[in-house]
Each structure stands twice: as C-alpha cells, then as structure tokens.
Structure 1
Amino acid sequence: MERLDGIERTEGVASAFAATRDGIDTMLRDRGLRSTSPDLTGESLIRGARASAVLDGSTSSLDEVRAGAGDPVAQAALRLSVELLGLVPVFARSPAQALARLHTVAGAGSVADDQLGRPRDAAAAERLRGVLAVLPTKRPALVTAALLHAELVVAAPFASGNGLVARAAERLVLVSTGVDAKSLVVPEAGHLTLRPAYESNLRGYAGGSRAAAQAWLLYCAEAYAAGAEASPLRD
C-alpha cells in the first residue's frame, strides 16, 4: 500500500496521536487500572456494541442492548462484544483467522452458512489480503487500528457486517497491543459522537488519495479521544 507508506509521519498525525495516547494513558493510570473490575470491561463492550450497531443502522437503545435485546444489527454487535476478548490471542497469531471468526459471529442468521467467515469471492479475498498488509507494522498502535478499520470498511470483503467487523477489529488492535489491555476505551462511541465526520472521512478514504488517508487519521485521533471520554471509568 504505497499511499500509506510513512503516513503516520505526515503533518499533524504524529502529534495528534501522541496527544490522544497520552490522554488514554493518563485516564487509565489516574483511575487505577489495576483495580478495575471485569464489570467495567463488560460495560465498555456493551457501550461499544450499541454504538457500532447504531452506526450500521440500528435503532436499539443502550438499555435494550444491555438487556440482551434489540434489533438484529444490535444482536450481531452484542455477539461480537461477547466474543471479542477471547479472540485477542487468535488475532496476535493469525489476524485473518480472527477476522473470519468476527464475521462468522456477526453474520450468523443474516447470510448463508457457507458465506460465514469467508470473502464474498476471489476479488474480495484479494482485497482482504491487501487489508492485512497493514499488519504487522511498526506504526503506533492507534494508527494501525485506524488504518485497519478504514481498510476493512472500504474493501468490504464479507457478504455482510463489514462495518461491525471493522470496528471490532479496531478494538482488537487496541487490546492486543496493550494500548487498552482491559478494553475500557469505547472507540465505537467516539465514532458515533462524531458520526458526520466519521462517515465523510470514510467516504474520502475510499477515494484512495494520500491526503484522504491523512484526514482519516487526524479524524481518528479525535475519535479515540472521544472514545476515552465515553469509558465507564469516566462515570
């Protein structure tokens, strides 16, 4: 992906992500990360599931999702939230396998069984291989998470739920790299808070220019800061 070579060093990107990472680290440290309970992680995952579902068209409320109810999109997002942390070691070993599992979970009941976890066709399989080229990387983890998210949405390798899978994969990067080992930041809520910018920057990213990729990254630095503010640690 030539257009992404050194993208993390373009104007404003490094400083924006450094500031966001410092804010996340400060929040986790100041609130005593070691003393946090699994309930806080669970709440973060539920908030993320609901936000991700809404971004995919769900009208379910947070209370409905928390109760295990809601429309089919919310149900799919909730299933992903339940499965997500168990996939951290799989993601570290085989990102492709982890993405396949994410789609299997998200797509259950909405596509044929033989489409679950598989690219739609040969062209989609090739696009997925291209997506995985952003991993592994020496880029900062937050940058990698942002690029994986955008690449999955744009490539749309699966028959359904590509947005849900992309946002779940984004969170997997944050957990597996240790940025947010207990998954207390809610990046999906950050994207929902900034929804117009989220959607417009993804459309720009799909255009393929380096400038649009830079704009997406600058947007994501802001979204991840908003995701930290949405953490249950802030309650």
Structure 2
Amino acid sequence: MSADPLAWLVTLEGVPSAYAAARDSIDTVLRDRGLRRTTPETTAESLLRGAHASAVLEGSTSSLDEVRAGTADAIAADSVRVSTELLSLVPTVGRSPLQALARVHALAGAASVDPERLGRPRDPESAARLRDIASVLTSTTEAPALLVAGLVHAELVTAAPFASHNGIVARAVERLVLVARGVDAKSLVVPEAAHLALRAAYESNLRGYAEGGAAGVHAWTLYAAEAFSAAAEASPVRR
C-alpha cells in the first residue's frame, strides 16, 4: 500500500482546526439554509457568481449584471462557458482526472485558443505536472476534501500547464472537487467569490506557494481554509 501523499499537510500547525472550522461553516450554511432553499436555479446562480468572480481574477472588467445579460467581455464569456458544463464532469474528475482537466481547458479556451492546443499541456514538463495533479486526485488520502481541492487549485495556477486560462481552470476544478467529494454536492458555495473578496491574500499566497517552499505551501493551506469559510458566506442560499 502506498503512503498517503498528503499526510504531511494534515500535520502542519493549525491545519486540522482550520479545515474543521471551514467544513463546519459550509455544513452550517447547507444544513440550515441550503436544504430548505435549494433549487436548480440556486445552483445556477452560484455557478454564475463563481464564473464572474473567476473572470475578474483573470482580468475581466465586466460586472455581474453584464454577465447576467450576456454582454460581458471575452474573458467572462470564457468563464461562463466553463460553468455551464462543469457539473457534468463530476463523474469524470475522480475516475479520469486528466480527461476532466483537459475538458475544462477546452471549454475555457474554445473561443480563443488554437484547437490543436485545447486541453493539451504546453510542454513535457507541463504534462508531467498534470500527471502529478491527477495522481493527487486519484490517491487514497486521509486529508480533508477541502484541502485536496485547495492544493489542486494552487498546483494548477502555479504550474500553468495549459496555453491559457490556467486560473479559470484552477478555480473551476477546485469547485468540481468540492462537488465530487461530497462537500457541496449541489454546488451552492462560491469559492471563486471568496478568492475575489480576499484577492490580495489570494494572490500573495499563490506567489508564496510557487516560491516559498514548505512555508509557502503551509501558508497557502491556511489561506485556503479561510477562503472556504468565506465561500459559504458568499452562497446565494444566504441571500
């Protein structure tokens, strides 16, 4: 039996309690509000808000109202296109994660990337990083699902394995993991909006993850737990 590849993360100071608190925040929203108010329209609203927030983080200047009206800029349109098909990939991300990652990029880049580059890694090093990320998604681990989602998010952003839209892909896959692993089965929390609200910390901790060694990974892990709690607060079931 292979060792748990994420076991060391769970032993870092503050991580177990941070993730327990984040999961409690999500469960409280879903239990106390979500189960009574959940409709397909609520899920669609969560996905739309997430698509808008992710697009802004990627450089879009469009407002949420423009996204709703279908008059948003190209980056926002790319993000919305991902959101419309994202939940159909729930069965795939655990079984064939490389296929799911490729599909998310193909959706994001469909309007602007050469078809031959859609869903394909930029180079052999990027292909290796994608295989590593896929192995995390298929490994047996005692780490919380939230931690797995946050780690995969950071890996995809910092590896930038695709020709474009790596941030949009990373944030979409984070949401996808939360659904696939049963944290938020109806996709009601909005992690993308949390990252936008915490933008300075989000971007700083991603830089630390890329450049700061174990300390940077630790800091990102703690940041991600904070963001997941904020994602619960951003859910449309609270409005």
Q: TM-score range by the shorter chain?
A: over 0.9
Contact 1:3 1:210 survives alignment (8 Å): no
Contact 2:34 2:237 survives alignment (8 Å): no
Q: Over the residues paired in the alignment, what is the CA RMSD in angstroms? A: 1.5
Q: Distance in 2 between matches of 1:77 and 1:104?
A: 11
Q: Distance in 2 between matches of 1:219 and 1:18?
A: 14
Which of the residues 135, 144, 153 maps onto 2:157?
A: 153
What is aligned with 1:9? 11
Contact 1:47 1:186 survives alignment (8 Å): yes
What is aligned with 1:54? 56
* Letter in structure 2 aligned against 1:108: A
TM-score, normalisation: structure 1 = 0.96
What is aligned with 1:193? 197
Q: Distance in 2 between matches of 1:80 and 1:28?
A: 24
What is aligned with 2:229? 225
Q: Distance in 2 between matches of 1:18 and 1:69?
A: 40
Q: Percent identity?
A: 65
- Aligned pairs, how many? 234
Q: Distance in 2 between matches of 1:134 and 1:9?
A: 17
What is aligned with 2:207? 203
Which of the residues 177, 184, 187 maps onto 2:188?
A: 184
Q: Distance in 2 between matches of 1:108 and 1:162?
A: 13
195-204 or 25-34: bigger deviation:
25-34
Structural mapping, 1:71-82, within 5 Å: 71-82=73-84
What is aligned with 1:162? 166
- Mapped pair 1:22 → 2:40: no
133-142 or 194-203: bigger deviation:
133-142
Task: Go from structure 1 to structure 2 and tell me whether the alpha carbon gap of 1:69 and 1:8 turns closer, same or farther (over 3 Å shift).
Answer: farther
* Letter in structure 2 aligned against 1:50: H
107-116 or 32-41: bigger deviation:
32-41
What is aligned with 1:68? 70
Structure 2, unaligned stretches of length 5 or more? none
* Letter in structure 1 aligned against 2:46: S
* Letter in structure 2 aligned against 1:197: A
Q: State the Cα deviation string for residues 165-189 of structure 1 (Å, max 9, x = none).
A: 0000000000001100000000000
Structure 1, unaligned stretches of length 5 or more? none
* Letter in structure 1 aligned against 2:170: A
Q: Distance in 2 between matches of 1:43 and 1:180?
A: 15
- Mapped pair 1:214 → 2:234: no
Q: Distance in 1 between matches of 2:170 and 2:222?
A: 18
TM-score, normalisation: structure 2 = 0.94
Q: How big is the shift at 1:92?
A: 2.2
Q: Distance in 1 between matches of 2:17 and 2:107?
A: 36
Q: State the Cα deviation string for residues 195-234 of structure 1 (Å, max 9, x = none).
A: 0000000000001511111100110111111111110011
Q: Distance in 1 between matches of 2:214 and 2:124?
A: 27
Which of the residues 84, 87, 90 maps onto 1:88?
A: 90
Q: Distance in 1 between matches of 2:40 and 2:6?
A: 37
Q: Distance in 2 between matches of 1:41 and 1:86?
A: 13
What is aligned with 1:33? 35
* Letter in structure 2 aligned against 1:103: H
